[in-house]
Structure 1
Amino acid sequence: MRPPAAPTSAGQAARRVRILRAASELGSRDGLDGIQMHDVAKEAGVAIATLYRYFPSKPFLFLAVLEWHIEEFLGDGDGGLGADVGDTLVALSGKLLGNRQLASAVALASFTEYAAAVPARIDIVERPLGQRLLRLLGDRKDAPSRVRLLVYTWWGLFVGMLTEEISTARGEADLRLAARLIAAP
């Protein structure tokens, strides 16, 4: 699979966001299996070639949707979040789980595309969530390793809550405990 193109102008960046917004709306309504790439292109008002230029596959598109929702949640600066790692991750889980159909779509896409997309991608520490957690952990030599542990723990608990393998209350409590243990001095 070829790597996705990055927007190089404000117009291209706006087009990319229209695609992500359209995929989010369709994913919220129809789930991952109920969506065709043509539907996303039509909803976003772009040519199918433009869609594939930025997102080489449907799972890759929904991985980008997940990252986009995380970026939107975190916003610039603190985004109203406190300095507690556990609270930040619990709030993010709650936001994503607020739309279970879309949460299922992005989780399924991550499982589908993991082997092809993730190893070639930037380290999770470099993604917006990783950067936020680095700031919350402060200046520690082992902070990148702790961030990876936090993100992988968060993702596992998020999926457990999404699939109802664990209750939301249990997942949130476990996430706060894991954050306390991993972020401890």
Structure 2
Amino acid sequence: MTAEQTESPTRSRSQHQRRKRIVQAAAALASRGGVEAMQMRTVAERAGVALGTLYRYFPSKMDLVVAVVGEELDLLEASMRRRPPGSSTGAERAVELLMRATRGLVREPELADALTRSLMLSDVKIDFHGRMTGMILRVMGEEESAGEEQKSLVRSLNSVWVMEMIDLLRGRTTAEEIQVRLELAANRLLAGF
């Protein structure tokens, strides 16, 4: 092995750790003050990296917000693997997943608001609906067998949840009311599964 080949995994690991520190710093700031608190200089200071290094990883603030959204989705997926929903039907498991995500976001309302805004207003691409649709299909046990129509129905359920989250963050509804409406929507949308 050459010296370059032995250094590469270490460098990749340290770059991964640096990127993770940056994303965690941004998430921590957003959880206290929303997107406005995620000033690039403040994120760099909190993550212990130079501002230029931050910009190499994330050319814009929205790129950083998208990375935070991705990290939150990773955490939700890890939670599902550790403790899969235990309900008996696919629709019930789908609602269980969405309610787990709701409770997680309710604990961090500023972060939830920042993430929701970024999903609605960002020009930066993130496959939020694709990832959530995939997670829902996985907990339903339908990931491999779902056709396009079924995927569209699951995506519709996810869209209902996003709109419910917006109302929750605006103080127009409660988590309990969301659960009732998600159960109704899931039972109707996913009846053919």
- Superposition deviation, residue 98 in structure 1: 0.8
Cα deviation per residue 1:33-55 (whole Å; 9 max; x = unaligned)? 13311100111112222322332
Contact preservation (8 Å) 2:94, 2:186: yes
Aligned to 2:129: 124
Give yes or no for contact 2:33–2:110 (8 Å, CA) kept in 1. yes
Partner of 2:7: none
* Maintained 8 Å contact 2:80/2:97: no
Letter in 1 for 2:38: I
Q: Does 1:110 align with 2:119?
A: yes
- Residues 123 and 25 from structure 1, CA distance in 2 versus in 1: closer, same or farther, beyond 3 angstroms? closer
Give 5+ residue unaligned stretches, structure 2: 1-10, 87-92
**How many Å apart are 1:122 and its aligned residue?**
4.2
- Alignment length, in residue pairs? 172
1:96 aligns with 2:121: no
Output the TM-score relative to the length of structure 2: 0.78
Counterpart CA distance in 2 for 1:79 and 1:162 is 27
Work out the percentage of aligned pairs sharing the same amino acid.
Answer: 30
Q: 2:187 — aligned with what?
A: 180
Residue 38 of structure 1 corresponds to which residue in structure 2? 41
Q: Secondary structure at the match of 2:82?
A: coil
Is the contact made by 1:134 and 1:143 (CA closer than 8 Å) also made in structure 2?
no
> Which runs of structure 2 are paired with 1:76-91 in the superposition (5 Å)?
78-82=81-85, 84-91=93-100
How far apart in 2 are the matches of 1:33 and 1:47?
Answer: 20
Change (3 A) 1:23 1:165: same
Q: 1:179 to 1:43 in 2, by over 3 A?
A: same
Q: Structure 1 unaligned segments of length 5 or more: list them.
A: 1-7
Give distance in 2, aligned partners of 1:47 and 1:130: 37
Answer 1 or 2: which has greater helix percent: 2
CA distance 1:79–1:130, shift in 2 (3 Å): farther
* CA–CA distance in structure 2, aligned partners of residues 76 and 133 of structure 1: 13
- For 2:138, the equivalent position in structure 1 comes to 135
Displacement, 1:168?
2.2
Distance, in Å, in 2 between the alignment partners of 1:109 and 1:44 is 21
Letter of the structure 2 residue corresponding to residue 100 of structure 1:
P
Q: Which residue of 2 aligns with 1:75?
A: 78
Q: Secondary structure at the match of 1:82?
A: coil
Q: Provide closer, same or farther for how the CA distance between residues 181 and 55 of structure 1 changes in structure 2, counting only shifts above 3 A.
A: farther
The alpha-carbon distance between structure 1 residues 22 and 161, as it changes in their structure 2 partners (threshold 3 A), is same
Pairwise CA RMSD of aligned residues?
2.2
